[in-house]
Amino acid sequence: MGALTNIGADDRSRVPRKGAKSPTTLSKRNPDMTRLIPGILVMAMIVVASNILVQFLFGQWLTWGAFTYPLAFLVTDVMNRVYGASVARKVVFAGFVTGVICSLIGTQIMGEFGPLVTWRIAVGSGLAFLTAQLLDVAIFDRLREGTWWRAPLVSTLVGSAVDTALFFTIAFSAGLAFLEPANDVSWANEVLPLLGSGPMAPLWISLAVADWCVKLGLALLALVPFRMIVRRLTAHPA
């Protein structure tokens, strides 16, 4: 309790009294907005960047978006661990709304090959993001009391699998061409061996499988910054 030896008058209200809730509990329910805003902004930037980068191939089977989007799960999990599931959901919804607004703006900005963000990509990204992130929050909260790495790892793996399946199906499947008839996605539906050596399948399926494999690897790597960031945000002065 050495941290309480030099408490000023303004700080005495923070000292837990008998029967009062602990500062940790209060911080989860009423987190400082100055701490929430960075999480919201980072989430929004990740969504917007991923919406754009998913349209550009990295090698033969991946898109650049595969390396940016998984960071959204890191943000959600950090907020969940530090402030709780309720606050994590607020960050998810704020990121979703901001991402939708920016995606809509992107559909009006013309690039070399058309809009920076197509309507199908905007819809697919939004639905996949919201579904996967809320699922991540729910799973993380259920596993919260277990080993520190289990909640972020399991929730991210399940959430990323759902996200990949929803996004690539909505954004590129020929069966959903009616969502945006003017958007030519024939390139993504060219039938090729899966990942170059498997059974024949549309290109977008190979892209989805490769994307999910990257997310698996990044989910493991993200445990390191997750641990470091959580420790820093929850550290108490000696």
Model confidence pLDDT, tens digit, residues 41-52: 888 788 777 767
| Predicted pLDDT of residue 116 | 64
Reported as a pLDDT band with limits 50, 70 and 90, residue 24 is: very low
Q: Measured at the alpha carbon of residue 166, what is the angle toward residues 99 and 139, in degrees to the nearest 5?
A: 80
- Nearest partner of 181 among 138, 112, 119, judged by Cα: 119
Average predicted confidence (pLDDT) for the chain: 80
Model confidence pLDDT, tens digit, residues 169-185: 998 998 888 888 888 88
Round to whole Å and give the CA distance between 197 and 174: 22
| Predicted pLDDT of residue 112 | 63
At 207 the three-state DSSP class reads: helix
Domains of the chain: 32-234 (1.10.1760)
pTM (global) more than 0.85: no
| Predicted pLDDT of residue 115 | 67
Q: What does the buried/exposed string (b/e) look like for 150-165 if buried means 16 or more CB atoms within 10 Å of the residue's CB?
A: ebbbbbbbbbbeebbe
- pLDDT exceeds cutoff 50 at 27: no
Mean pLDDT of all residues in 6-13: 39
Inter-residue contact 139 to 154 (CB < 8 Å): yes
Model confidence pLDDT, tens digit, residues 50-75: 767 766 778 888 878 889 888 999 99
Q: What is the percent of the chain with per-residue pLDDT over 90, rounded to a whole number?
A: 37
For CA atoms 29, 37, 123, 202, the dihedral sign is negative
For CA atoms 40, 93, 211, 102, the dihedral sign is negative
Inter-residue contact 121 to 55 (CB < 8 Å): yes
Round to whole Å and give the CA distance between 32 and 36: 7
| Predicted pLDDT of residue 25 | 46
Model confidence pLDDT, tens digit, residues 85-129: 988 999 999 888 877 887 777 777 776 667 667 788 888 888 998
Round to whole Å and give the CA distance between 204 and 174: 10
Mean pLDDT of all residues in 189-197: 90
Long-range Cβ contact pairs of 192-201 (< 8 A, separation 24 or more)? 195/61, 196/60, 196/61
| Predicted pLDDT of residue 141 | 95
Round to whole Å and give the CA distance between 150 and 223: 10
| Predicted pLDDT of residue 113 | 63
